[in-house]
Amino acid sequence: MFKFLMILVTVNMVFWSTSAFSDSQSARSDTITLKKPPEVLAKWYKPANKRQVWLHTMFRLRREILAMNDYSQQGKQQAELEKWSQKFIKDYKSIAEMVPQWEEFLYLDKLSHLEDAVKQREYSSIAPILKKISKSCMHCHDDYQTVATLMFRSPDFNNKVIAEGFSGEKVSYDDIMKQLSDSVNRINIAIKDGYFSTANELIEPLEQQLEHLSTSCGDCHQDDEVPVERIMSASRALLPELAEQLELKGQKQSGRKLGEFAVKVCAKCLPYTDYLQT
């Protein structure tokens, strides 16, 4: 018998307010609390915004801190140090402008200390000031970064449908992933039980399902064919190779090829790999 290889990435979130996990006997002490960020934050992410304003602001802040630390340690390039400090002050203040609810977490009073230290060339004071200011970032990162990533940087397929589904009707992504999972598992079952001709007959319907699925990729990945090709090119190569192994009635080799298909094709769609448990 063979081991069916599979990457399982299961994300079972999100809990608003407090979520306690219990073992079979009693509630565990390690309670995990995830907080929902202010709704206004969505304005600074796609698709509500044309650009990933929030992310780019965070990236700039990190770059500005690094530049100031490096230049202050060198004790020279005063013009560059002043330039980066002004950029940092502007971006740091913009956090409160974008999400007013988080202004209370910011150390805005320390910005004047930073500005004075830069102007007076007190290079040894700059890194400690930046370290203190950076601690304010953790107020939000600790409480909101994980949930914000799930909400604003992960695709939402809840209302996504494919107009021409497997039977010609509109089909939700949940149903599509369930049907794909069933198809792969039926092939797996047939291989395990030695019904190689049955497994081979199931490949064509699976190919058709994947083709239907690929028609929706452009809805999100507009003008970008790479995601489609990255996944579909693998399926177009691996499924014929699987069929060859099935013709040879090699259980171990067929199982390995099906496992390779699952890893290189199915596991690409991270939000839905929980459907593909076998």
> 189: Cβ–Cβ under 8 A, 6 or more apart, which residues?
none
Is residue 26 domain-resident? no
Provide the whole-model pTM: 0.57
Q: Indicate whether 252 and 233 sit together in one domain.
A: yes
Task: Report the number of distinct structural domains present in the chain.
Answer: 2
Which has the higher per-residue pLDDT, 212 or 72? 72
116: number of CA atoms within 13 Å, CB side? 7
| 124 located within any domain | yes
CA-CA distance, 114 to 90, in Å (whole number)?
13
pLDDT, tens digit, 9 for 90 and up, residues 243-258: 999 999 989 999 999 9
Whether the predicted pLDDT of 9 surpasses 50: no
Residue 28 lies in a domain: no
Range of the domain at 148: 39-152
250 burial via Cβ count (<10 Å: 0-12, 13-18, 19+): middle
pLDDT in tens, 12-31: 333 333 344 444 444 455 77
pLDDT digits (tens, 9 = 90+) for 176-188: 888 888 888 899 8
| Distances in whole angstroms, Cα of residue 68 to Cα of each of 49, 81, 120, 132, 204 | 30, 6, 14, 14, 59
* Pair 134, 177 in one domain: no
Of 152, 169, 186, the residue that ends a domain is 152
- What percent of the chain has a predicted confidence (pLDDT) above 70? 77
* Residue bearing the bigger pLDDT, 35 or 91: 91
State the chain's mean pLDDT as an integer: 79
Does the pLDDT at position 168 exceed 70? Answer: no
User: Does 93 reside within a domain?
Assistant: yes
Asked which of 131, 152, 173 is the last residue of a domain, the reply is: 152
Give pLDDT tens digits for 202-239. Answer: 999 998 888 887 777 766 666 666 667 766 777 888 89
Total residue length of the chain? 278
Are 56 and 131 found together in one domain? yes
Last residue of a domain, one of 152, 186, 214: 152
